Copies of this chain bind each other. A is one copy, B any other.
Amino acid sequence: MEELTYRDAVARGIAQEMARDERVVFLGEDVALAGGVFKATGGLLERFGPKRVRDTPIAEQAILGAAMGAAMTGLRPIAEIMFSDFLAVCWDIVANEMAKMRYMSNGQVTMPVVIRTANGAGARFGAQHSQSVENWAMMIPGLKVVAPATPADVIGLLAAAVRDPDPVLFFEHKSLYGTKGHVPVGELVDELGKAKVLRQGNDVTLVALAAMVPRALAAAERLASEHGVSATVVDVRSLVPLDTATLLREIAHTGRLVTIEENPRLCGWGAEIVSIAAHEIFYSLDGPALRITTPHLPLPSADNLEDAVLPTVNRIVKEIVETFD
C-alpha cells in the first residue's frame, strides 16, 4: 500500500498500461512536454518517448478522429480532452462515429479507445469549464462511461478501460485531483460495471458518483450521528455498464432511494436509476425517491455562488431529513 494523489494515479495508470502494451498511445493538448494542464500526465513523455506520447494542436475533432482511426487499425489510444465541456466541440466523433461504428458495420470494426477528461465543478472556473457531462455520454448507445472517486479506482478503472475493446469515456473529477488515497503496490486492474457499497445502512440508500461520493459519505455520518438515520452509500463508479444488481439490491434493502448528482437536474443519471427502481422494485420502495442535483443552471463563477448551487453535505442532509419527515 502506498499513498498517492488522484492526479498522480492518472499518470500511474497510463504508465502501467503503456508499459504493458505497445499498442497503447496517448495524445492530447499540452499532455506531453508540459505534463498536462492538471499536471496529471507528467513523466510520460520522458518514459515512453515522443512517438507514443504526443502533443496536438487545439483541434478536438482531429484528436478524437485520430484516436478513432488508430483504434480501428490496431492501436489502443488514450486521448485527453482537457475539460469535459470541450466534448461539445467534438461530440460528433464521440456520439455519431466512435459509438456507432461497430454496430453499423455489424461487428467488422472494433473500437478500443479511451477518452480521458477533467469533469466537474468546484474550481471557480465558471460555466464553460465546470460542467458535469457524464450524462452526455451515458445517453449515447455504444459508449461505456466511468467516473472514479479515488486514486485506486483511477488506476484500476483506467486499466480496465484501456483493456476494454469498446470506447470508454473516463471522467476524472477536477476537484479530486489533489485528494489522496491508498493504492496497492503492483499492477492494478479493476472491472468496468461494478458499483461499490461503501457503507451499509438500513434506512436509506445514497447513490453517488465521483466528487459526490465523499460528500455522500460525510452526509451519511451526519445522518447517523445527528438524525439517527442509517444510510447505505453506493459509489456507482460505472454508468455504462451499470451495476443494477448491486444498486437494486441496496435500494430494496433500505426501501428508500436518494441519488446525489453533481450534474444539473434534467435527464441526469439519477433519473435513470430512479426509473429502473420505480419499474423493477416498485413494491420494495417505502417512500418517495429523492434526487439531489445541482439545480438546472449553468455554473456561476464566484465562490459563494458556486458553493450555493453544488450539492453540499449540508444540503444533502437537509433534503433527506425533509423527505423523511
The minimal Cβ–Cβ distance linking A239 to chain B, given in whole angstroms, is: 8
A48: Cβ under 8 A from any B Cβ = no
Across-interface contacts of A127 in B (CB, < 8 A): 96, 100, 103-104
User: How many copies of the polypeptide does the oligomer hold?
Assistant: 2
Chain B minimum-CB-distance residue to A106: B300
Whether A141 lies near B91 (C-beta < 8 A) is no
**Segment at the B interface, from A16-24, A152-160, A266-274:** A266-274
Instruction: Kindly supply a per-residue 1/0 record for chain A positions 101-133, scoring 1 wherever the CB is within 8 Å of any chain B CB and 0 otherwise.
Output: 001100000000000000000000011100000
Whether B269 lies near A267 (C-beta < 8 A) is yes
The minimal Cβ–Cβ distance linking A112 to chain B, given in whole angstroms, is: 18
Whether B279 lies near A271 (C-beta < 8 A) is no
**Segment at the B interface, from A35-43, A184-192, A211-219, A286-294:** A286-294
Whether A287 lies near B282 (C-beta < 8 A) is yes
Instruction: Kindly supply a per-residue 1/0 record for chain A positions 273-315, scoring 1 wherever the CB is within 8 Å of any chain B CB and 0 otherwise.
Output: 0110111101101011111000011101000000000000000
Whether B85 lies near A104 (C-beta < 8 A) is no
- Central interface residue in A135, A240, A279, A297, by most chain B CB within 10 Å: A279
A264: Cβ under 8 A from any B Cβ = yes
A282 to B283, CA, bound (A): 11
A72: Cβ under 8 A from any B Cβ = no
A267 to B135, CA, bound (A): 7
| Chain A interface, number of residues (Cβ within 8 angstroms) | 51
Across-interface contacts of A279 in B (CB, < 8 A): 274, 288-291
A46: Cβ under 8 A from any B Cβ = no
Across-interface contacts of A274 in B (CB, < 8 A): 271, 274-275, 278-279
User: Dominant SS at the A interface?
Assistant: helix
A321: Cβ under 8 A from any B Cβ = no
Partner of A85, one of B85, B96, B138, B291: B96
The minimal Cβ–Cβ distance linking A252 to chain B, given in whole angstroms, is: 13
A224: Cβ under 8 A from any B Cβ = no
- Central interface residue in A141, A267, A280, by most chain B CB within 10 Å: A267
The minimal Cβ–Cβ distance linking A305 to chain B, given in whole angstroms, is: 11
A94 to B271, CA, bound (A): 23
Instruction: Kindly supply a per-residue 1/0 record for chain A positions 68-90, scoring 1 wherever the CB is within 8 Å of any chain B CB and 0 otherwise.
Output: 00000000000000000110110
Contacts A127-B100, A127-B104; A266 near B297 (Cβ below 8 A)? no
A99: Cβ under 8 A from any B Cβ = yes
Whether A278 lies near B288 (C-beta < 8 A) is yes
Whether B128 lies near A96 (C-beta < 8 A) is yes
Contacts A274-B278, A288-B280, A297-B141; A88 near B91 (Cβ below 8 A)? yes
Whether A288 lies near B282 (C-beta < 8 A) is yes
Whether B297 lies near A267 (C-beta < 8 A) is no
Can you list 15 A-B contacts with CB-CB less than 8 angstroms, sorted by A residue number? A103-B297, A103-B298, A103-B300, A104-B127, A139-B268, A140-B264, A265-B272, A267-B269, A267-B271, A271-B271, A274-B278, A275-B278, A278-B285, A278-B288, A283-B288
